[in-house]
Amino acid sequence: MAASTDISATQAAALLDELTALVARASALIRAIANVSISSRLKDDRSPVTAADEASEALILEGLAKLMPGVPVIAEEMSAAKTTVGPLGDVFVMVDPLDGTKEFIAGSDEFTVNIGIISRGVPIAGVVAAPNKGLVWRGAVGIKAERLRLTADGADQAQAIHTRRWPLQDAVAVMSRSHLDAATQAFLDRLKPITHQPSGSSIKFCQIAEGIADVYPRLATVCEWDIAAGHAVLTAAGGIVTTPQGGPVAYGRVAEKFRVPAFIAWGDPAKAATITA
């Protein structure tokens, strides 16, 4: 796919197999590095980074340059290195090569590889791989959403997924294991009775997308690459991601250094329409 001024969800869906193969190769590389050694250092923002983060990003950037030549890519480590970002245009790609680095370092399986396609500020397609869970979630908005088994060079055993209606009882909230703040806790208290399920990385979006959780509030700043792919998968599965006031979450905020002030991800858009933070 060459650079263009726009891309449809149908066109994005046609790229899902190749994007899945790309995250599968990145997942295999991460696991290979982990089998040898995991060492980390702190970036300027005091968050950790490892050789696996950097190797995964390099592999993905190389693959995207061939798959989507000329399409701008915003990736976590290039942004952390303060790489200059030119004009994005209407179509660009968000990459988090290893979301949940703290979990990865700790030996948890709650880390992911993420690629999201953005059109006119809106995520329209995304792929999320969980290397140590052996799973991939992917979706194109209005086309399909599915969970697959991760293989060495792609994925198989696709199963369609869909969000569920807000349950009359036993609703489940997923929240950050590392970043739960007072505002988020206060919002969750308003939804009682509700089960709290801490988790790392963008897996939380995928749990809502496949109908085993219902809401994911993050009422603190987060980077666009952390959530773009999961946002797309969840929307494709029937969910919605909004600002705390119920508006759309915009992507491509160069002036804000690609920071999203806060968001709430919902499985049931009807429930989302009844509550704001």
Classified as helix, coil or strand, 172 is strand
- CA separation for the pair 191, 169 (Å, rounded): 11
- Is the domain of 141 the same as that of 30? yes
Residue 81 has what pLDDT? 53
Answer whether residue 242 is part of any domain. yes
pTM, 2 dp: 0.93
Last residue of a domain, one of 133, 160, 187: 160
Residue 86 CB-density burial (10 A; 0-12 exposed, 13-18 middle, 19+ buried): exposed
150 and 26 share a domain? yes
Based on the domain organization, do 132 and 206 belong to the same domain? Answer: no
Q: Is residue 226 a contact partner of residue 203, using CB atoms and an 8 Å limit?
A: no
- What whole-number distance in Å separates Cα of residue 132 and Cα of residue 113? 11
Nearest residue to 244 via CA among 267, 270, 216: 216
Give the amino acid at 70. G
Q: Which residues pair with 129 in a beta bridge?
A: 113, 136
Question: Is 165 contained in some domain?
Answer: no
Question: Do 155 and 40 belong to one domain?
Answer: yes
Based on the fold, state whether residues 107 and 205 are members of the same structural domain.
no
pLDDT score recorded for residue 76: 87
CATH number at residue 220: 3.40.190.80
Tokens of 87: 């004009």
- CATH number reported for the structural domain that contains residue 69 in this entry: 3.30.540.10
| 231 shares a domain with 253 | yes
Q: Is residue 138 within 8 Å of residue 128, measured between CB atoms?
A: yes
Number of domains in the chain: 2
Q: By residue range, what is the domain housing residue 141?
A: 9-160
Q: What is the pLDDT along the chain (277 residues), one digit of tens a residue?
A: 545 557 888 999 999 999 999 999 999 999 999 887 777 676 667 677 788 999 999 999 999 999 999 999 999 877 655 555 667 889 999 999 999 888 888 888 999 999 999 999 999 999 999 999 999 999 999 999 999 999 989 999 999 999 999 998 999 999 987 777 888 888 998 998 999 999 989 999 999 999 999 999 999 999 999 999 999 999 999 999 999 999 999 999 998 999 999 999 999 999 999 987 6
Dist. CA 46–CA 214, nearest whole Å: 31
State the pLDDT at residue 222. 93
Same domain, 23 and 124: yes
